[in-house]
Amino acid sequence: MASYPRALAGAATAAVLVAGLSAAMLLLRDHLSVAFDGLVLVVPVVVGVVVGGLAAGIAAAAVGFVVYEVVLIPQYGTSAVGAAQSWVALVVYVVVLVLVAKVVADQRHAWAEAAHREQETRRLFDLSEALIAETPDLAQRVVDTVQQTFGSGWVVLVLPNDDALHVAASAGLAAPVAQLDAVLGTPGTPVHLLEHPSLSLPDDPAVVALVADGHPVGLLAISPAPAHHHDRRLLATFANQVALSIARANLRELAVRSERLEAAEETRQILLRAVSHDLRTPLATIKASLSGLRDPGSGLAEPARQELLGLAEEQADRLDRLVANLLDVTRVEAGTLLVRRQPVAVDDVIDEALAILGRPPVTVALADDVDLVDADHLLICHVLVNLVDNAFRYAPGDIVVSAARHAGRVELAVADRGPGTAAVQLRSTASLVGRSAGGTLAPSAHLAGDGHSGLGLAIADAFVGAHGSRLSLDDNPGGGARLSFTLPVGRADAEDLDSTELAGSAVAAGAR
Amino acid sequence: MARLLVVDDDPALVKVLRISLTARGDEVVVARTGADALQQAASLRPDVVILDLGLPDVDGVEVCRRIRQWSEMPIVVLSAAGDEQRKVSSLDAGADDYVTKPFGMAELQARLRVALRHGADRAGDHGAVELTVGPLVVDAAHHTATLEGHVLELTAREFDLLAYLARHAGKVCTHHLLLQAVWGTGYGTESNYLRVYAHRLRRKLGDAGTMLRTHPGIGYQLTDDDTDPADPPPRTARSR
C-alpha cells in the first residue's frame, strides 16, 4: 500500500508532467491529431502510478482528462466535445489509463508482498539459527531474537519451574526480573501483571501461550503487540518454534538427570557390593575357624586350637573396625565430625595405632626433630590404623611408618612395597578419585566386583581433611605406594582443647 | 593323605585352612595370587585345588580355564554369596564344585572328599566304556544303565544325560554344559528341559535318586557321596 505522502508526490509529479506536456502540445495543437495528444498524456499517468500508486495514477488521469478535454480537443476552452472521433479518443484515454494504473499498482503491491515475505523468511531463519545452537542461555536468545525481529519495546519469556512460573529471560524491561518473578511466584492465585503497581509495564502487550506436543510449556509476552497481520502470523510461527525448542531442552535436561541418577545408583551398588565383601572376608575366617573347632573329628591339637581361636578373635576385631568405619562414614556425611585439636605426641599416636592392629611387623622411622603435632589424637590414630591396615592387606612386609619435618609441618607417611599407586587408586577410588560434588563417598566404577571398598582409606581421607590437610598418594621410591599427610607442629604450652564443630560442607571441602 | 593347593589372598583364611586341613593329615600348599597358583599347580601336581575367585591379579575363572587346558585335577571354587554369575562361569570353565563364603569346615571337607574320590576315578578310567557311580553302572558301548544289576528303562536322551553326569561324577555340571552336551550346541538356556529330565531320572532311579543333586540356578551333580554336609546350605537368597 502506497503511503499518503508518496501518493501526493506521485500526483504532483503527474500534474507537473501534464502541465508541461500540455503546454508543449498547446503550441502545436493545430498540427496534431486528437489521438496523438491522448497518447502523449498517457505518460504522466504511468509516471504518477509508479511514483505514487493507484490513487496518484487516478488523480493524474483525472487531471489529464480535464486538460485533454478542455485544451486539446477542438472547441477549445469549453467542455464541449465535437466530433465522434474525439469522443472515442477521450473514452479510450480514460479506459487505458484506469487499466494501466490498476496493473501498475497491483504489480507494486506484489513486489511489496514478496519483499515482506522474504524478510519474514529471513527472520524465521535467524530464529531457527538461534534456537538450534546448544547453549545454556536458550531463553535469553529467544527474547533477544524476538525483540530484534519485531523491534519490540520489551519481551518476557515465562517458564514453569517446579510448581511456579518464573521469568526465564527478558529484554528491554525496566523493572528488574526479580520483581516480576515475585509477582508470578504464588501458584493458584490470579496475577494481574499489567495492572501490578510495582511493575508499571508500559504499552499494550500480546501474550502468546507456548504449546508443544499438546502441552503448555510457557508464555511469551511481547509489547507493543504486533499490529500488522503479517507480524502476528510471524509471531505465532515464532511461538511454535520456541515452544518446540523449549520442550526439546526440557527433554534433554530430563535425559541428563536420569543419566546422573543411573550413575549414582550404579555407584551405590558398587559401594554396597564392596562393603559387603569387606564385611564378609573376616566372617569367612571366623566361621571356618569356629566350625573347625566344633567338629569332634577335626583332629586338631591344642596349639592348633589356640591358633584358630586367636585368628577368629583377630578377625572379629577387624570386623569391629570395619563397622566403626561404616559408622564414621555416616558421621562424616552427616557433618557431625568433631575435631578436638590438642598437642599430640607423634611417637605415642603411632604406637597406639600399632597396638590396636595387634603389633604387626612394621618399621617406624621417626625423625629427631619431630615431637608434637596439633591434631585430634583419636582421629589421627584412626587414620594411621586405616593406612597401616590398608598397606598390610595388599603388601605385608616392608611397611614403613615415618614422621618427618616438612616446610614447617610434620609429615606422617605409610609406605609399602605393594603393587604401587595404580593398584591403590583402583582400590581406593572412594576417597581419592570418585568423591562426588556433594561430599558423599562414591567410589568410581573402576572398583572391581570383588574389589575392596576402600572404606578405610576414604575415612582416613575424610579425617585428614577435617584437619584442613589432605591425604596424598605417591609412588614409593623403589616400588610400592606411599600415602602421606601433613599436620601443623604442636606446641606444648598451647591452650588445650580448641574444639571446632565442622559443618558437613566444611568437611567435604577440606577433604578434597 | 592328599596334597591340597589353597589359592586365596586373605592371609587369615589361608591360615585357618592350613591349620584345619593339615590336622586331617593332608598336605597344604598355599598360593596368594593367580600366577602363583598356576605355577604351583604345574610344579606340585596337587590332588585338588581350592580356588578363591577374587584374586588380586588374574581372575579365578581364568585360572580354572588355564588349569583345564592341561589337567583334569579337581578344582573346588570359593566364592562370595550373591556372585552366582561368576560361580557358574567358573563351573563352565572347568571347576568341579563350589563352596560359598562364609562356609563351615565340614561342608568344605565334604566337597573336597567328593572331588578327591571322583578326581581319582576320572584319572583311572579315562575313556572307560563302563562308568560306575555307587550302585549305578552306565555302559556307554551298549547304551544300557543298570542299578544294582537291574536294567533301567531309559529313553535315548535320558541315557545321554545320565551318561554325561556319570562321566563327570562329582562335578557340578551347569545347565549350559548339560544342554550343550546332551541336546546340542544350539541349546544353552532351556533349563526347563533339564528340570523335566532330572525329575524323570530321579523317578527311575528310585531310592538312588538322591544321587542326582540339584544346585538351584546352577546345575546338577551326580555323586554317590551320601554323607550330606553337616552345615545347612548357605542361604544365599535371603538378601535378594
pLDDT tens, position by position, A156-206: 888 887 777 777 888 877 666 666 666 665 556 666 665 555 555 556 778
Q: From the list B24, B81, B102, which residue is nearest A288 (CB)?
A: B102
Q: What per-residue confidence (pLDDT) applies to A392?
A: 80
| Band of residue A44 on the pLDDT scale cut at 50, 70, 90 | confident
The string of pLDDT tens digits covering residues B117-145 is 887 777 665 566 788 888 899 888 888 88
Backbone angles phi, psi at B92, to 5 degrees: -60, -35
For residue A334, count other CB atoms closer than 10 A to its CB: 10
Average pLDDT over residues A128-155: 78
Q: Are B82 and B236 in contact (CB under 8 A)?
A: yes
Q: What is the CA radius of gyration of chain A?
A: 46
**Cell numbers given for B213:** 543333586
Nearest chain A CA: its distance from B64 CA (Å):
17
One-letter amino acid for residue B166 of the chain: A
User: A463: helix, coil or strand?
Assistant: helix
Q: Which of A75, A59, A76, A50 is nearest to A18 (CA)?
A: A59
What ranges do the domains of chain B cover? 3-123, 127-222
Amino acid (1-letter code) at residue A381: C
Of A54-68, A429-443, B63-77, give the lowest mean pLDDT range. Answer: A429-443
Q: What are the residue ranges spanned by the domains of chain A?
A: 4-114, 134-227, 314-511
Note the ipTM here: 0.79
Mean pLDDT of chain A: 77
Task: Identify which has the larger pLDDT, A431 or A81.
Answer: A81
- Residue type (1 letter), A274: A
Q: Which residues contact A240 (CB under 8 A, 6 or more apart)?
A: A211
Taking contacts as CB-CB distances below 8 angstroms, the residues of chain A near B24 are 298-299
Indicate whether A33 pLDDT > 60.
yes
Cβ–Cβ pairs < 8 A, chains A and B: 86
DSSP-derived secondary structure for B40-74 = HHHHH--SEEEEES--SSS-HHHHHHHHHTT----
Q: Above 80 in pLDDT, residue B63? A: yes
Fold of B127-222: Arc Repressor Mutant, subunit A (1.10.10)
Closest-CA distance, B7 to chain A, in angstroms, reads 14
The topology under which CATH files domain A314-511 is Heat Shock Protein 90 (3.30.565)
Q: Which CATH superfamily is domain B3-123 in?
A: Response regulator (3.40.50.2300)
Return the higher-pLDDT residue of A476 and B50.
B50
Identical fold for domains B3-123 and B127-222, yes or no, is no
Q: Nearest chain A Cα to B8, which residue?
A: A281
Q: Is the peptide bond before B229 cis (omega within 30 degrees of 0)?
A: no
Domain at A134-227, CATH homologous superfamily = GAF domain (3.30.450.40)
**When comparing pLDDT for A339 and A430, which is higher?**
A339
* A510 vs A394, more confident: A394
Q: Do B54 and A277 touch (CB under 8 A)?
A: yes
Give me the residue from A277, A284, A295 closest to B13, CB to CB.
Answer: A284
SS (H, E, C) A372-410: EEEECHHHHHHHHHHHHHHHHHHCCCCCEEEEEEECCEE
> Residues 6 or more apart from A160 whose CB is under 8 A from it?
A166, A217, A218
Instruction: Report yes or no: B137 at the A interface, CB cutoff 8 Å.
Output: no
* pLDDT tens digit sequence for A342-388: 899 999 999 988 888 878 889 999 998 888 999 988 889 989 988 99
- Chain A nearest C-alpha distance from B101 (Å): 6
Q: What is the mean pLDDT of residues A120-145?
A: 78
CB burial string A92-120: b at 16+ within 10 A, e below: ebbeebeebbeebbeebeeeeeeeeeeeb
Q: Check if B121 contacts A (Cβ < 8 Å).
A: no
Query: A-contacting residues of B 84-103, CB under 8 Å?
Result: 86, 101-103
* Tally of residues, chain A: 512
Q: Do A288 and B86 touch (CB under 8 A)?
A: no
Q: Is the pLDDT reported for residue B239 higher than 70?
A: no
Lowest mean pLDDT, pick from A52-66, A132-146, A436-450, B67-81:
A436-450
The pLDDT value given to residue A188: 63
Q: A352: how many CB neighbours lie within 10 A of its CB?
A: 17
Nearest-10 crossing angle of helices A84-132, A42-67: 140
pLDDT tens-digit map of A470-496: 888 888 887 888 899 999 998 875 444
* Interface test with chain A among B10, B16, B86, B113, by most A beta carbons within 10 Å: B16
Pairing of strands A481-488, A409-415: antiparallel
Q: How confident is the model at residue A441 (pLDDT cuts 50, 70, 90)?
A: very low
Least confident of A76-80, A210-214, A330-334, A465-469: A76-80
Give the burial class of A3: count Cβ atoms within 10 A of its Cβ; 0-12 exposed, 13-18 middle, 19 or more buried. exposed
Is B80–A298 a contact, with Cβ atoms under 8 angstroms apart?
Answer: no
Name which of A353, A337, A378, A344 is nearest A496 in CA terms: A344
